[in-house]
Chains A and B, each alone.
Chain A
């Protein structure tokens, strides 16, 4: 497998499972992390080609994790899609300010997610 690597940082196992199954038929390789700190650690270790970052995470919020990754030269240029929630107003703006390349509102459609992934990371 020489496909591109996508890191999904998300604490809900069903959402993880969904994306796992969504990407199963593609050439993308999925690696997972279930909290913010783990997400940052995995990203620094694996240096994926794209990161999907949920905004509400245990230990470290998705926004803080994004800021940390942007601050590190190893991960500074990796596209990060922040998955926001309508629950808090101005999430979109906060995601952009934190350094997100794009944001996707939850609940997202798997179709939309695939489109966005392909836009940032065309499948070979």
Chain B
């Protein structure tokens, strides 16, 4: 028995000893081949069980029948024994009657009364009746003996009658003589014969008793052997049939354990051609199917892995390219913006009034281009997984002030009201202050961009351990069906990429990424035509190890 991880430990322990005996018998005796033969019988399990039970039941019924017959036999024998006993009893009674008869005959000589003579006759009758009974029950070879007794008795009775007559006539001496000369020897003769009968009957009874005892012993031995054989047969049948079931079940158990471990190319082999055989066939089909599925899935996942690797390489190449490009773009931007600023700062001398506007336009668009480059760079770094927050303590008030001072002029230009403030008592935050500022610049910048009139407000407050930033505008609002998409990456937006590129797409996406890197979340509430409010909530103090 191999240790299966699926088998509970107690089960193995409780099964260990009988299982070991079973295994021993199967391998070291012909029982193994019998078990295989039974397993190989093409018959359903219940038919096999029924056959076994029927066989045992029939043999038990046969044994029951035999027992009944034995009991009947014993009954008749005990009746015969009774009869033999009775015959012995009768013989004794005859002896008794003879003795009394003799006694009364002797008494008649002394008492000479009729009553005693009548007693002699009564005993004589008893003698005759009992003798008739014995004769009736006797064997032919005993009849001669009984005949002799009867004739002797008849003679004795005749002699008694003579003696009685002599007594009545008062001839006592003659009676006495007759008694001594004839009657007494006759009695002795009869007594001897009766003794012979008694002896015979006794012998017969003893013989019979011995033969009955021997027969009983034989029957007992026979029945005991039969019962023992029956028990052995039942055990054998039980063993063979149960193992013809246990073996395939254990095979199936091992097989299923293998399958559960993920070895789908396992097969199960059982000699059974019953339900267990059918089950094993099904299991093999199942494992074949699983193996096929597993193989195709493995090939699929290999293919997927390969594609994924390719995709990752492509994505990394793209990110690297974007990072390099963005860097390369920065250097000329530095010169462009630097020279324009120097021109406007009149480093090169006074700027004619009609040149100031186009120079300012160059500066505005240059800054916008720079922002886009920065966004593309940020996004490519985030995608490549190379964006890291620079965590430090920062003042929320300072962040709000930076945003306010940077964008105030834009609000003024558009004639929009702009309020940016934070709750007074917010303690120092811990996070990437520059990225948080960037997020707010994106949100407030968008709010100013999409509002034609009204006001834009930025408010920060502490809620428990979190900071909640809120940017509200009175702009065009966001249609409900786009609220979900507004933070998704620009790749997922349709053909409006270029428009979104210049607008909110990148900024919002980057903002969302930075908020999430801080362990926070961003959401928007908007009403079409009335305005939008963007919220983001980040921990006041970001967990150092918790940033992704």
Q: A-facing mask of B327-351, CB < 8 A → 1, else 0?
A: 1001111110111011001011000
With CB as the reference atom, state the residue of chain B lying closest to A11: B331
CB within 8 A of A107: which of B330, B347, B381? B330
Q: Is the CB of B370 within 8 A of A107?
A: yes
Question: A108: shortest Cβ distance to chain B, in Å?
Answer: 7
Q: Is the CB of A109 within 8 A of B337?
A: yes
Q: Is the CB of A110 within 8 A of B338?
A: yes
**Any chain B CB within 8 A of the CB of A35?**
no
**Any chain A CB within 8 A of the CB of B323?**
yes
**Any chain B CB within 8 A of the CB of A87?**
yes
Q: Is the CB of A108 within 8 A of B338?
A: yes
Task: Report if A87-B323 is in contact (Cβ < 8 Å); known contacts: A106-B331, A106-B334, A107-B337.
Answer: yes
**Any chain A CB within 8 A of the CB of B361?**
no
Q: Is the CB of A107 within 8 A of B334?
A: yes
Task: Report if A86-B374 is in contact (Cβ < 8 Å); known contacts: A18-B338, A107-B338, A109-B337.
Answer: yes
**Any chain B CB within 8 A of the CB of A21?**
yes
Q: Is the CB of A110 within 8 A of B342?
A: yes
Q: Is the CB of A15 within 8 A of B335?
A: yes
Pull 16 A–B residue pairs with CB atoms less than 8 Å apart, ordered by A: A18-B335, A18-B339, A21-B348, A22-B342, A25-B347, A85-B330, A86-B374, A87-B327, A87-B330, A89-B381, A89-B386, A92-B390, A106-B331, A107-B338, A110-B341, A110-B345
B contact residues around A111 at 8 Å (CB): 341, 345
B311-367 residues at the A interface, CB under 8 angstroms: 323, 326-327, 330-335, 337-339, 341-342, 345, 347-348
**Any chain A CB within 8 A of the CB of B377?**
yes
Q: Is the CB of B342 within 8 A of A18?
A: yes
Give the distance in Å from the alpha carbon of A61 to the alpha carbon of B377 in the complex: 22
**Any chain B CB within 8 A of the CB of A90?**
yes
Give the distance in Å from the alpha carbon of A107 to the alpha carbon of B377 in the complex: 14
With CB as the reference atom, state the residue of chain B lying closest to A83: B334
CB within 8 A of B390: which of A22, A25, A93? A93
Q: Is the CB of A107 within 8 A of B326?
A: no
6 smallest CB-CB distances across A and B, nearest first, come from A107-B334, A14-B335, A87-B327, A18-B338, A107-B333, A110-B338
**Any chain B CB within 8 A of the CB of A27?**
no
B contact residues around A86 at 8 Å (CB): 330, 374, 377
Q: A-facing mask of B383-405, CB < 8 A → 1, else 0?
A: 00011101000000000000000
B contact residues around A110 at 8 Å (CB): 338, 341-342, 345, 347
Give the distance in Å from the alpha carbon of A105 to the alpha carbon of B330 in the complex: 11
B contact residues around A15 at 8 Å (CB): 331, 334-335, 338
Question: B160: shortest Cβ distance to chain A, in Å?
Answer: 156
Question: A95: shortest Cβ distance to chain B, in Å?
Answer: 13
Give the distance in Å from the alpha carbon of A109 to the alpha carbon of B347 in the complex: 13
B contact residues around A90 at 8 Å (CB): 388, 390
Q: Is the CB of A21 within 8 A of B347?
A: yes
Extra contacts, 14 of them, besides A18-B334, A86-B374 (Cβ < 8 A), are A14-B332, A14-B339, A15-B338, A21-B348, A22-B338, A56-B327, A87-B330, A87-B377, A89-B381, A89-B387, A107-B333, A107-B334, A109-B341, A111-B345
With CB as the reference atom, state the residue of chain B lying closest to A16: B335
The chain A residues found within 8 Å of chain B, CB to CB, are 12, 14-15, 17-18, 21-22, 25, 56, 85-87, 89-90, 92-93, 106-111
- In this complex, the member of A12, A56, A110 whose beta carbon has the largest number of chain B beta carbons within 10 angstroms is A110
Q: Is the CB of A108 within 8 A of B390?
A: no
Give the distance in Å from the alpha carbon of A107 to the alpha carbon of B348 in the complex: 20
B contact residues around A87 at 8 Å (CB): 323, 326-327, 330, 377
Question: B361: shortest Cβ distance to chain A, in Å?
Answer: 18
Question: B343: shortest Cβ distance to chain A, in Å?
Answer: 10
Question: A96: shortest Cβ distance to chain B, in Å?
Answer: 12
A contact residues around B377 at 8 Å (CB): 86-87
Give the distance in Å from the alpha carbon of A18 to the alpha carbon of B331 in the complex: 12
Give the distance in Å from the alpha carbon of A15 to the alpha carbon of B331 in the complex: 8
With CB as the reference atom, state the residue of chain B lying closest to A14: B335
Question: B332: shortest Cβ distance to chain A, in Å?
Answer: 7
Q: Is the CB of A12 within 8 A of B390?
A: no
A contact residues around B332 at 8 Å (CB): 14
Task: Report if A108-B334 is in contact (Cβ < 8 Å); known contacts: A87-B327, A89-B386, A89-B388.
Answer: yes
Give the distance in Å from the alpha carbon of A92 to the alpha carbon of B388 in the complex: 13
With CB as the reference atom, state the residue of chain B lying closest to A23: B347
A contact residues around B342 at 8 Å (CB): 18, 21-22, 110
B contact residues around A14 at 8 Å (CB): 332, 335, 339
Give the distance in Å from the alpha carbon of A21 to the alpha carbon of B342 in the complex: 9
Give the distance in Å from the alpha carbon of A87 to the alpha carbon of B337 in the complex: 18
Q: Is the CB of B330 within 8 A of A106?
A: yes
Question: B438: shortest Cβ distance to chain A, in Å?
Answer: 11
- In this complex, the member of B330, B333, B386 whose beta carbon has the largest number of chain A beta carbons within 10 angstroms is B330
With CB as the reference atom, state the residue of chain B lying closest to A113: B338
CB within 8 A of B338: which of A56, A93, A109? A109
A contact residues around B370 at 8 Å (CB): 107
Question: B480: shortest Cβ distance to chain A, in Å?
Answer: 37
Question: A122: shortest Cβ distance to chain B, in Å?
Answer: 20
With CB as the reference atom, state the residue of chain A lying closest to B388: A89
Question: B371: shortest Cβ distance to chain A, in Å?
Answer: 11
Question: A114: shortest Cβ distance to chain B, in Å?
Answer: 9
Question: A87: shortest Cβ distance to chain B, in Å?
Answer: 4
- In this complex, the member of A14, A92, A107 whose beta carbon has the largest number of chain B beta carbons within 10 angstroms is A107
With CB as the reference atom, state the residue of chain B lying closest to A108: B334
- In this complex, the member of A18, A22, A89, A93 whose beta carbon has the largest number of chain B beta carbons within 10 angstroms is A18
Give the distance in Å from the alpha carbon of A22 to the alpha carbon of B346 in the complex: 11
B280-338 residues at the A interface, CB under 8 angstroms: 323, 326-327, 330-335, 337-338
- In this complex, the member of A21, A85, A86, A90 whose beta carbon has the largest number of chain B beta carbons within 10 angstroms is A86
Question: B529: shortest Cβ distance to chain A, in Å?
Answer: 38
B103-152 residues at the A interface, CB under 8 angstroms: none
A contact residues around B374 at 8 Å (CB): 86
With CB as the reference atom, state the residue of chain A lying closest to B370: A107
